Structure 1
Amino acid sequence: MWSLVIKHVIYSPKETAYRTIKSIAPRVRFAPSPTGYLHLGGLRTALYNYLFAKSENGTFILRIEDTDQSRKVEGSVLALIRDLEWAGVECKEGPNVGGKYGPYVQSERLPIYQDHITKLLDNGSAYRCFCTERRLNILRRDAIKAQRVPKYDNRCRFLSDQDIKDKIKAGTPYCVRFKLTSDCMSFEDLIYGGIAYDVSLNEGDPVLMKSDGYPTYHFANVVDDHLMKITHVLRGVEWQISTTKHLLIYNAFGWEPPQFGHLPLIVNSDGTKLSKRQNDVKVEEYRNKGILPLALVNYITLAGGGFDHVPGEGVRLKTMDDLADEFQIDKISSNPSRLNPDLLEECNRLEIKRQLKNPELSVQLVRKLQSLILETYPDQKFNVTEDHVKTVLNWAVSRISRLEELVTNKFGFLWILPTNEDIELDKELLHKLINNLQRLETFDETSIKDNLKLFSKENNVKFPELMKMLRAVLSGLNEGPGVAEMMHLLGKDQALTRIKSVAR
Structure 2
Amino acid sequence: MKRVRFAPSPTGYLHLGNARTALFNYLYARHENGKFILRIEDTDLERSKKEYEEMLIEDLKWLGIEWDEGPDKGGEHGPYRQSERLEIYAKYVDKLLKSGDAYFCYCTEEELEAEREKAIKEGRPYRYSGKCRNLTPEERMDYEVKGIKPVIRFKVPDGEVVAFEDLIKGHIEINVNEFGDFVIVRQDGMPVYNFVVVIDDALMGITHVIRGEDHLANTPKQILIYKALGFETPKFAHMPMILGEDRTKLSKRHGATSVRALKDEGYMPEAVFNYLSLLGWHPKDEKEILSKEEIIKQFRIEDVNKSPAIFDRTKLRWMNGVYIREILDIDTITKRAVEFFEGFGYIADYDYYKKVMEAIRDSIETLMDIKERAKPFFVDDFPYTQEIIEEVKNSKAYDVVKAFYEKIKDKEEIKKEDFKEITKQIQKELSVKGKELYHPLRLALTGESSGVGLDLLVEVISIKRLKHRLERFLEYFG
Give TM-score, length-normalised by structure 1: 0.84
Amino acid at match of 2:380: L
Q: 1:109 aligns with which of 80, 85, 88?
A: 85
**Is 1:188 aligned to 2:160, yes or no?**
no
Where structure 2 has 5 or more consecutive residues not aligned to the other structure, the ranges are: none
Identity of matched residues, %: 36
Secondary structure of 2:171's match?
A: strand
**What is aligned with 2:382?**
419
User: Would the aligned equivalents of 1:62 and 1:93 in 2 still touch at CA under 8 Å?
Assistant: yes
**2:362 maps to which of 393, 398, 409:** 398
| Cα offsets for 1:442-488 (capped at 9, x unmatched) | 9436x634542432432466764443321111111123345445445
Larger mean Cα displacement after TM superposition, 126-135 or 90-99: 90-99
Query: 1:3 is matched with which residue?
Result: none
Q: Aligned-pair distance for 1:433?
A: 2.9
Letter in 2 for 1:345: R
Distance 1:71 1:398, change over 3 A: same
Shift of 1:431: 5.6
How is 1:69-84 mapped onto 2 (pairs within 5 angstroms)?
A: 69-73=45-49, 75-84=51-60
Other-structure match for 1:274: 250
Q: For residue 226 of structure 2, what is the aligned residue in structure 1? A: 250
User: Which residues in structure 2 correspond to 1:253-264 (within 5 Å)?
Assistant: 253-264=229-240
The offset of 1:172, in angstroms, is 3.6
Kindly provide the amino acid, as one letter, of the partner of residue 449 in structure 2: N
Shift of 1:163: 2.6
Q: 2:256 aligns to what SS in structure 1?
A: helix
Instruction: Provide the C-alpha distance between the structure 1 equivalents of 2:283 and 2:434, rounded to a whole number of angstroms.
Output: 53
The AA in structure 2 aligned to 1:477 is E
Q: Deviations over 1:189-208 (max 9, x none)?
A: 011111111122x2221111
| Structure 1 residues 111-169: Cα deviation after superposition (integer angstroms, max 9, x where no partner) | 11111111111112111112112211111122112222111100111222443355446
Aligned residue number for residue 350 of structure 1: 322
Instruction: From the superposition, tell whether residues 460 and 396 of structure 1 become closer, same or farther in structure 2 (CA, over 3 Å).
Output: closer
Partner of 2:335: 367
How far did 1:341 drift? Answer: 1.4
Q: 1:58 aligns with which of 26, 34, 42?
A: 34
TM-superposed deviation, 1:86: 1.6
Which residue matches 1:87?
A: 63
Change (3 A) 1:389 1:79: closer
Could you tell me how far 1:502 is from its partner in structure 2? 4.5
| Aligned-partner Cα distance in 2 for 1:256–1:421 | 74
Is the CA contact (8 Å cut-off) linking 1:418 and 1:475 kept in structure 2? no
Determine the structure 1 residue equivalent to 2:416: 444
Task: Give the AA of the match of 1:115.
Answer: K
Q: Does 1:197 align with 2:174?
A: yes
Seen in structure 2, the aligned counterparts of structure 1 residues 150 and 503 have a Cα distance that, compared at 3 Å, is: same
Contact 2:244/2:254 (8 A) holds in 1: no
Q: Secondary structure at the match of 1:155?
A: coil
Please state whether the residue corresponding to 2:382 is helix, strand or coil. coil
Do the aligned partners of 1:418 and 1:474 also contact (CA within 8 Å) in 2? no
- Does structure 1 retain, via aligned residues, the 8 Å contact 2:116–2:126? yes
Q: Distance in 2 between matches of 1:86 and 1:40?
A: 13
Structure 2 counterpart of 1:310, one-letter code: D
Name which of structure 1's ranges 184-193 and 277-286 shifts more when overlaid on structure 2. Answer: 277-286
The structure 2 residue matched to 1:331, chosen from 285, 303, 309, is 303
Counterpart CA distance in 1 for 2:254 and 2:435 is 47
Question: Partner of 1:308 in structure 2?
Answer: 283
Deviation at 1:327, TM superposition (A): 1.1
Check conservation: 2:360, 2:374, Cα contact below 8 A. no
**Aligned counterpart, 2:267:** 291
User: Counterparts of 2:205 and 2:378 in 1: how far apart (Å)?
Assistant: 56
- For 1:343, the aligned partner's letter is K
1:495 to 1:130, Cα distance in 2 relative to 1, 3 A: same
1: distance between equivalents of 2:173 and 2:399?
Answer: 87
Q: What are the superposed Cα offsets for residues 240-281 of structure 1, whole Å, 9 maximum, x if unpaired?
A: 122122111111111111111111100112322112676521
Letter matched to residue 250 of structure 2: L
| Post-superposition CA distance 1:285-338 (Å, at most 9, x none) | 111111121211222122210x41434x5x31x332222122111111111011
The SS at the match of 1:303 is: coil
| CA distance, structure 2, for counterparts of residue 290 and residue 484 of structure 1 | 27
- For 2:369, the aligned partner's letter is E
Contact 1:418/1:476 (8 A) holds in 2: no
Where structure 1 has 5 or more consecutive residues not aligned to the other structure, the ranges are 1-24
Q: Match of 2:30, SS?
A: helix
Residue 43 (structure 2) aligns with: 67
TM-score (norm 2): 0.88
Aligned residues: 465
Question: Matches of 2:434 and 2:21 in 1, distance apart?
Answer: 59
What amino acid maps onto 2:19 in structure 1? Answer: L
Aligned partners of 2:211 and 2:277: how far apart in 1?
15
CA shift, 1:214, in A, is 1.0
Which is worse superposed, 410-419 or 241-250? 410-419
Which amino acid is 2:344 matched to? T
1:367 CA drift (Å): 3.5
